[in-house]
Structures are given as structure tokens and as C-alpha cells.
A and B are shown apart, each in its own frame.
Chain A
Amino acid sequence: MAKHNGSTGPLNRRGFLKGAAGAAGGAAAVALGTTEQAPAAASAAAAPAPTPAQLDRDAGFIEPALPPRAAVRPGSDLMVQVLRDLGIEYVASNPGSSFEGLQESLVNYGEPPNVRPEFITALHEETAVDMANGYGKAQGKPMCALLHGTIGLQHGSMAIYQAFYAGTPMLIIAGRDNGFIQAHTADDMGALVRSYTKWDAQPKTLAESLTAIQEAYRQAITPPCAPTLVILDTELQKEEAGTMQVPRYLPPVIATIDPTTAREIAASLLAADNPRIEVGQLRTPEGVALAVQLAERVGASTSTRATAGPMSFPQRHPLCGPGADTRYDFRLGLEVGPADVALIGPRVASLHTLRDKGGIGFGGLRAANAEASAPGEAIKRSIALDAEASLSLIIAAVDAAITPAQRALITSRSAKHASANQEAYVSGLKQALLVKRKGWDNSPVSTARIYAELWPLLADEDWCLASPSNFSGSHHRELWAHNKPYSYLGTQGAGGMGYGAGACGGAALAARERKRIVINIQTDGDLNYQPGVLWSAVHHKLPLLTVMHNNRAWHQELMFLQYMAGVRGRGTDRAHIGTTLRDPFIDYAKMAAAYGMASEGPISDPAKLAAALVRGIASVKRGEPYLIDVLTQPR
């Protein structure tokens, strides 16, 4: 499929560049339907630095050479139509010339324009990708991040890396202009992030571009879920589409267990006196609903990881907990063990060997490490197939095999589980409160009190805690009830800082049309990577309450340095150097105000916290994001 050259004007840029860059054979081949891509030919020479004329063009001082006429039906309209048909709600981006055609279609094409997808203005590409990460975690489906050439892709790469580790489905599109500023272009742009994306393509024609976007979406949502990338040349965005039609999208066919195995599992669940279902992280809300259906059908007590991340069993469901009897005689694992039979679908680590073309060998992605961390030894029979996709078959097999006598037993057993689980929950909660109350009236405010004061205000709301809680005590795990697939979105993925604010922005995008509010317990160090998220939240009226966990430090690093100084006998009185945010202190309420966000603080008196939270939640429910700066204990 040779690419059609859409340029008919006097300046045939592609032809010119073939000669100029010596890269005629360098455009990467499209590898639709595979995770492999042919390596691009090495560029004959390094890209030259931008010329003054090119920089003037970039700054808008020089008008571009115009083709004889604009396209009547530009290719980018069809690209947007593909996104629309896929159900992409948002495209987050920091604007860039390499996708000006696509951006113009996003904001002007369709009726109404700029709706599903809506262009979301991000102030940094890392923010755009983190937003897509937060959205993907909350909804279990891709959002789109649109990046500008090599520079936008590199800005976004850190967030892509985190999303890959998290296994978040995400569609990334990068614009490419092979004749504008050479440093913004590469022959094989996908190579920049190939080690930590699932699939990428650099199509050569408009028709291929449309198919590539669909395939990228399909790959992103097929286990193992992960970010995928399509590079779209600016010429393809601007060429005349004529009568070309958008190809029909075919959803992925996800491998499931066979009917015989499904019947075996169903029979084991029904024959057991005390079955148990261990529930890990599923892919979508629909998968969570199926897990609930199965547990209710067979009266099994369940575990959950809803306090640790998204897409798991509702924590306060009557069957969730240890149950009335912990001597389980059959355990089914859904993406987790221990279990007699566990369904565990493919993980991103399995892609890494194939995709790490540079042999970088990111430690945490090596398959060996992933296998070592899996609870394999506690699983008697592991089936390497996606649990969520297999649930419908198991439920159908249960329905076909269950007897009236079994139904009666299950009803009775479920009631006992419900009573025992409620008792265990309340007992555990009271024990936790005995610890959380320590330092209750301390100033600065204890992190436990922030979570405790929030919960009564949130309990009757539809809420999502989108910020990682690992640095603020994770008190929600014991104090809050995580009953939705998106109650808590988990940690950073690759443990990198700067993720929190952007991910919360994306979760708030998911929440905006769904009457949900998003809570961001925001560590101060993290916010300073991407403070511009605050502006995006205001601009797009996101239901986002940010409560600063302002301990004026990168606290983990402070403690590391203290220990290091201690073992070297040098004392800890200089460990604050490079680990604290003082001289001057940062005023986050003013920072928020500068971005147009309603805010208050800093609050150091815990007695003033609850009223501030009430004001904050009221504001967010009006569609106005709010920030409360709280000076906190370190942890």
C-alpha cells in the first residue's frame, strides 16, 4: 500500500525530502495486526538543527505555502469519525503543528463538533497521557492522547511508561510532519516508546490510517491491555478523502476457556460446601458485574483488591470478606491466587521481550520478574486465559447445572456470609479507628484525619479516589468503602512522581458526565511536576477536589537520606538539603488561584478542616474544581 502523495502544489515536500534526508526507504512499514514492526532504516545523517526560517514558521511569522485548494473532505475528518465510532470521549493534547489538520477536524467536524471526542487542552504532554491513564483506569476503556512529533512523544513518554506498567488501555496518536522542523520528525517515531507500548503503526495512506486507529484501539483493549500508538503524517490528515468510507470496526475476539473447562469449574463451585472466589483486577466494569453475578449464583465468599486498585469486587458486597467459614473447599481465582483453579490472563511483561527492540531491559517489565511476583505457588491449576472473558461461560454453566436443592443451600450460605462479613468489617474498622485517632487534634493535620473527615462527606456520593495513596498513609483502605470499579485507581504504575494530578484530571473527565466526584489527596512534590493540570481542570469544569497533603518535602527521599547519613556517622541535620520544599514554602492556594481554581488554605488547624472539605465538595458538585491546601504531618 504505497502512500498517495497528496501534495500537488509547487512545493512537493515529500519528494523534496526524499532527496534531502536520504530517507526514502526509511518510513517504517505498517504492521497491522501484529505486535511486530519492521525496523526502520537508519537515517543517513542526523537531523539538522531548525533553521531560522523554520523557527519563524513555527512561531507563525511566515505563512505556509498553500496548496491550490483546501480539501473539501479532509482525511482528518474521517480520522475523527473513526474515533467517534470507537466511542472515544476525549482527546487530550497540548497543541502542535504536526496534527493541526486533525485538531481542526476535532474542533470543527461533525454535528455537534468537538463532542465525543472533545478536545481537552493540556499544558504538557505528560499531563495529556496521564489524563488518558486516569480515564482508562476509571472506565476500563481507552481515552486518546494526541502528541506532537518527536518532542511531544518524548514529553509524554514518562506517562506512557507508567500506563504500560499499569496495563491501562490507551490510544496515543502522534502527529508527524516530515518537512517542517526536522528535529520534530523521525523515520521511526514509534521506536521512542516501543519498549513500553503494546503496538504501533506509522501508516502510509489515509485508508491505512483509519484501519490503524481501529487496530490500535482493538490492541489496547485486548489482554494484556496497554497503550498503543499510531503515527499520523500531516499530509494524510490534510489530503482529500473523496468518497472514502470509514471501515467497519470489528471488536477483538478475546480467548476464553472452553465450554468443557467452564462446566468443570461450575461443577466444582456448585459441589463445594464452602466455595471461595478470589478476585484480582479485572478489565472493565462489565467484568466486575459478571464476577458479582457468579459469586451470587454460587454463594461464594470473595476477596477483593478494590482497596488497592480499580476493577475488582465491591468491598462491601455482602459476600465480600472472609465469610462465615474460612475452611474453603474450592477456590476459583480471577486474575489472582491462591486458588484451586485460577484464570490469569496475559500481562504486559509478556510483551516486553518482543517489543524491547533496543534491548533496554526495563527491570520491572522482565517476564521473569513478573512470574516471580505472581502467586503461582499458591495456585494448583493456572489457566493462562483472561478471567473476565471467561466469566459468562462459567455463569451459563452454573445456570445449566444448578439444582433447586443447591439454590436453597446457596441462599442459606449467602446469608451466613453476609452476617459474618458485616461483623468482620465493623470489627476491623473499629480496630483501625483506634490507630487512626492518634494525633487527632495535632497541628499540622494528621493524614489519617484528612481521610477520616472526608469519608462521611463522600459516603452517599458517587466518588472516585484517583490519587495514589501510598505516600499519604493509604487510610482510605480501612476507613472508606470501595464499592465501585473506579473507587480507587491505585498507584503510579512505574512508581514515578508527577502522575497524580494528571491522572486525577483524567478520572475527573470520566466523572464529569456521570455525576461522579473525584478526590485527589495531592502530595506536594507530585503536584509540582504538572501544576498546569489545575488550569485544565478549571477550563474543562472538572469535578475534582484536590486536598493537599502538604508536608513540604519529598518525604520518602528525606527518610532515605537520613538513614544514609546515619550509617555514615554524619548526622541527619543536613538531610533536608535537596529533599524538602522550604525557603520559600509554596503557597498552593495561591498557585490554584493563579490557574483560576477556587481554593483555600493553608490549613494547619485540624478543627478547620471539615468545614473546608464541605465547601470543597459543594464547589465540585457545582462543576467548579477546588483546592484545599492542608499542612500535614509528614505521613
Chain B
Amino acid sequence: MNPLIKTALFVLLLLSASGATHSAESTALGNAGKGKQLYYAHGCYGCHGYSGQTGARDLVGTGSPLVASEAVFKMFLRQRGELSPMLPVTRMPNYARSALSDTQVHDLYAYISTFKLDAPALEQVPTLQNIVRLAGKPYKP
């Protein structure tokens, strides 16, 4: 199954299981400044990069429904697997309310919502153009 479809189905399942809808909380902006502190303190940059665009799990420009709304985002944080793995994994951690309050999630979401995609067109970056040009050069043993 297409991974995006699988993710969308997972999100729908989360929403239906929790009865979550767009809450008033998600319509009011959180404190992005506090969210930034949380992003650093909890090491979110570890997988998502300092601006959500690099690393193992970039956030920006991926079309992931998991960050499309705060309600989904919160459900995702809360309902990650809670069984301790026998082997080390680097998947998204679970965030229980005791570890990250609703208010903190609200602020965190506000911060990651400020991330903007920095992906210039290939034509705008001489280095990238150069790489394409080099690919056209004939093979030299």
C-alpha cells in the first residue's frame, strides 16, 4: 500500500478512536517562542533538523498529514507505541501528557508551523547546476 495512504488511514483511525475534532485550542496560536525552546530541549531537531527540513524525518514540504493540524499532531504524539522495544529504534517517541502537556504541545505546534521550505530551484543554485552539468561529461577511466 502506498505509504501516504497508509499514513492517512492511520490518522483517520487515530481521530476516530479519540473522537478528536478541530478543537478551539488548535484554532488559537500557541506561543512559538516557548515552542522553540521545547523543540530544542526535547531534541526534536535530532530527527527533524533545526528547521524541520533535514535529517532522518523532515517535516516541511513532505505533505505528511501528521502535521497538517494540531489535533492530529497531538494525537500522533500521544498515541505512539508504548511497548518498550527489545532492539534500539529511532522512530518517533511517544509523548504522554505527563511528559509534554497539552499547552506545551500547543506551543510546539505553533513553532513547527513557522517552518518554511527552503528548497531553491535547481536553476537558482550554481552548485546544483554544476552537478547536473558534470553528469553530462563522458566517462573517463
Contact = CB atoms under 8 A, between A and B. Distances in A.
12 contacts: A314-B141, A437-B125, A442-B50, A443-B50, A444-B50, A452-B131, A479-B131, A556-B90, A564-B88, A571-B95, A633-B54, A634-B45
B104 to A, nearest CB: 10
Contacts of B43: 558, 562, 572-573, 575-576
Interface in B73-118: 80-85, 88-96, 98-100, 117-118
B34 to A, nearest CB: 13
B41 A573 contact: yes
Contacts of B83: 567
Interface of A: 292, 314, 316-318, 425-426, 429-430, 433-434, 436-444, 446-448, 452-453, 455-456, 459, 479, 481, 483, 553, 555-556, 558-560, 562-573, 575-576, 610, 633-635
B125 A317 contact: no
A116 to B, nearest CB: 27
Contacts of B125: 437, 440
| Most-contacted residue by chain B among A483, A553, A562 (CB, 10 A) | A562
A559 B47 contact: yes
A318 B134 contact: no
A553 B51 CA distance: 18
B131 A440 contact: no
Interface in B10-37: none
B2 interface: no
A572 B42 CA distance: 5
B95 A566 contact: yes
B88 A635 contact: no
Given A567-B84, A568-B84, A569-B98, A438 B54 contact: yes
B90 A560 contact: yes
Given A314-B141, A317-B139, A569 B119 contact: no
B28 to A, nearest CB: 24
B54 A562 contact: no
Given A452-B131, A560-B89, 7 more contacts: A442-B54, A442-B118, A453-B127, A553-B46, A562-B93, A563-B89, A566-B93
B122 interface: yes
A572 B93 contact: yes
B132 A433 contact: yes
Interface of B: 41-43, 45-47, 49-51, 53-56, 58, 60-61, 80-85, 88-96, 98-100, 117-120, 122, 125, 127-128, 130-132, 134-137, 139-141
Question: Which among A292, A429, A570, A635 has the greatest number of chain B C-beta atoms within 10 A?
Answer: A635
Nearest to B130: A456
A455 B54 contact: no
A437 B88 contact: no
Nearest to B81: A567
B139 A571 contact: no
Contacts of A565: 93, 99
A633 B49 contact: yes
Contacts of B137: 459
Given A437-B122, A634-B55, A569 B135 contact: no
Given A568-B84, A633-B54, A610 B95 contact: no
A555 B49 CA distance: 12
A567 B85 contact: yes
Contact of A635 (B54, B99, B122, B128): B54
Q: What 4 A-B pairs have minimum CB-CB distances, sorted nearest first?
A: A566-B93, A571-B99, A439-B53, A559-B90
A447 B55 CA distance: 9
A432 to B, nearest CB: 9
A438 B130 contact: no
B54 A560 contact: no
B84 A564 contact: yes
A414 to B, nearest CB: 13
Nearest to A429: B135
Contact of A448 (B42, B54, B92, B134): B54
Contact of B119 (A426, A437, A570): A437
A563 B91 contact: yes
The interface centre, meaning the residue of B60, B81, B127 with most chain A CB atoms within 10 A of its CB, is B127
Given A447-B54, A567-B82, A633-B54, A429 B131 contact: yes
Contact of A438 (B84, B89, B96, B117): B117
Contacts of A573: 41-43
B127 A456 contact: yes
A397 B88 CA distance: 51
Contacts of A567: 80-85, 93-94
Contacts of A455: 130-131, 134
Residue among B47, B49, B95 facing the most chain A CB atoms (10 A cut-off)? B49
A426 B135 contact: yes
A434 B54 CA distance: 13
Contacts of B50: 442-444, 633-634
A442 B141 contact: no
A429 B132 contact: yes
B128 A433 contact: yes
A634 B122 contact: no
A439 B49 contact: yes
Given A433-B132, A453-B127, A442 B90 contact: no
Query: Taking each of A434, A444, A566, A571, which has the highest tally of chain B beta carbons within 10 Å of its own beta carbon?
Result: A566
Contacts of B135: 425-426, 429, 481
A318 to B, nearest CB: 6
Contacts of A434: 119, 122
A634 B46 contact: yes
Contacts of A459: 134, 137
A553 B46 CA distance: 10
A568 B43 CA distance: 17
B136 A426 contact: yes
A481 B138 CA distance: 11
A564 B54 CA distance: 22
Contacts of A446: 49, 53-54
A433 B126 CA distance: 12
Given A452-B128, A566-B94, A569-B99, A430 B122 contact: yes
Contacts of B88: 560, 563-564
A476 to B, nearest CB: 11
A565 B100 CA distance: 12
B61 A430 contact: no
A317 B46 CA distance: 38
Contacts of A575: 42-43
A314 B50 CA distance: 37
